[in-house]
C-alpha cells in the first residue's frame, strides 16, 4: 500500500485532503507536511508514492520545493495543488517534472481521479486534460508565441490583448490555435510545454 504526502500550510486544507486521499484505492497511509522545507526533509524517510503540494506557501514555495525534490529524486511523484488562476506556478512545476495539478476547488471525485492518474504516472494536467508526450517543437507564429508568453506571465486574455493591441477575441483565437499545435488542453498545459520546449522563459 502506497504512502501519500499532503503538503499545505493550512491545517484545515491538509485535513480535508488527507480524508479525501485516504479513500483512494491503493493508498495505505497519508502523512501531512506544512511547508516545502518539511517535504524536502521528510521525503527520503517517508518515500511517498506521491506528494500533493500546494503551489504557493511561505518559505520554500511548492514550485521551488518540487524543483529541488525532483532534481534530487527524479522518480518522485509530485501533483501540484493550485488555484485556477495560478497558471505560471503550475506550468513551472510541471516543466520541472511534476506529474500534473489539481485545482483547490475540485470535487472529491476530481481530486481522486487526479491522484490515481498521478500515481499511475498518467500525468493528469487538470480537469478533463491529459498528459502529452514530448516531441519536436511545433511551429508557432510570432503572434502565437507572444500570446503564449503572456500566458506564462500570468496575464489574462484581456491583458494580453491590451499589451499587443489586439481585441480579446483575437487573443482567444490565437490561444485556440496554439493549444491545438501544442496538443494542450488548457493554459497551464500549454505554458508548461512551452517551458519544456524552450518557447517560454
Q: Specify whether domain 142-196 bears CATH 1.10.10.10.
A: yes
* Whole-structure pTM value: 0.67
106 contacts 20 by C-beta, under 8 angstroms: no
73 contacts 45 by C-beta, under 8 angstroms: no
Residues 135, 117: Cα–Cα separation, whole Å? 22
The region that residue 112 occupies, defined by phi over 0 for left and psi between -120 and 50 for alpha, beta otherwise, is: alpha
130 vs 37, more confident: 37
**What does the domain layout of the chain look like in residue ranges?**
2-119, 142-196
13 vs 124, more confident: 13
pLDDT value at residue 151:
85
The mean of the pLDDT values for the chain is 83
Query: How would DSSP label each residue in 141-189?
Result: -HHHHHHHHHHHTT--HHHHHHHHT--HHHHHHHHHHHHHHHT-SSHHH
- Name the least confident of 79-93, 102-116, 172-186: 79-93
The mean pLDDT of 39-46, rounded to a whole number, is 94
Residues 42, 46: Cα–Cα separation, whole Å? 6
Q: What are phi and psi of 105, to 5 degrees?
A: -95, 20
pLDDT over threshold 80, residue 126: no
Query: How would DSSP label each residue in 13-78?
Result: HHHHHHHHHHTSTTEEEEEEESSHHHHHHHHHHH--SEEEEES--SSS-HHHHHHHHHHH-TT--E
Q: Which fold has domain 2-119?
A: Rossmann fold (3.40.50)
| Residue 121 pLDDT grade (very low, low, confident, very high; cuts 50, 70, 90) | low
188 contacts 90 by C-beta, under 8 angstroms: yes
Amino acid at each position: 500500500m502506497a504512502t501519500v504526502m499532503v503538503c499545505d500550510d493550512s491545517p484545515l486544507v491538509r485535513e480535508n485532503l488527507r480524508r479525501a486521499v485516504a479513500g483512494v484505492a491503493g493508498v495505505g497511509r497519508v502523512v501531512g507536511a506544512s511547508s516545502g522545507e518539511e517535504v524536502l526533509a521528510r521525503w527520503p524517510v517517508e518515500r511517498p508514492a506521491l506528494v500533493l503540494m500546494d503551489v504557493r506557501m511561505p518559505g520554500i514555495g511548492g514550485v521551488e520545493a518540487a524543483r529541488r525534490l525532483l532534481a534530487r529524486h527524479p522518480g518522485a511523484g509530485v501533483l501540484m495543488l493550485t488555484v485556477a488562476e495560478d497558471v505560471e506556478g503550475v506550468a513551472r512545476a510541471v516543466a520541472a517534472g511534476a506529474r500534473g495539478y489539481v485545482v483547490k476547488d475540485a470535487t472529491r471525485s476530481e481530486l481522486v481521479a487526479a491522484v490515481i492518474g498521478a500515481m499511475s504516472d498518467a500525468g493528469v494536467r487538470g480537469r478533463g486534460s491529459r498528459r502529452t508526450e514530448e516531441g519536436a517543437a511545433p511551429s508557432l507564429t510570432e503572434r502565437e508565441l507572444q500570446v503564449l508568453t503572456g500566458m506564462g506571465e500570468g496575464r489574462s486574455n484581456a491583458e494580453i490583448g491590451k499589451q499587443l493591441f489586439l481585441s480579446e477575441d483575437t487573443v482567444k483565437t490565437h490561444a485556440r490555435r496554439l493549444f491545438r499545435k501544442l496538443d494542450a488542453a488548457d493554459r497551464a498545459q500549454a505554458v508548461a510545454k512551452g517551458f519544456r520546449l524552450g518557447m517560454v522563459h
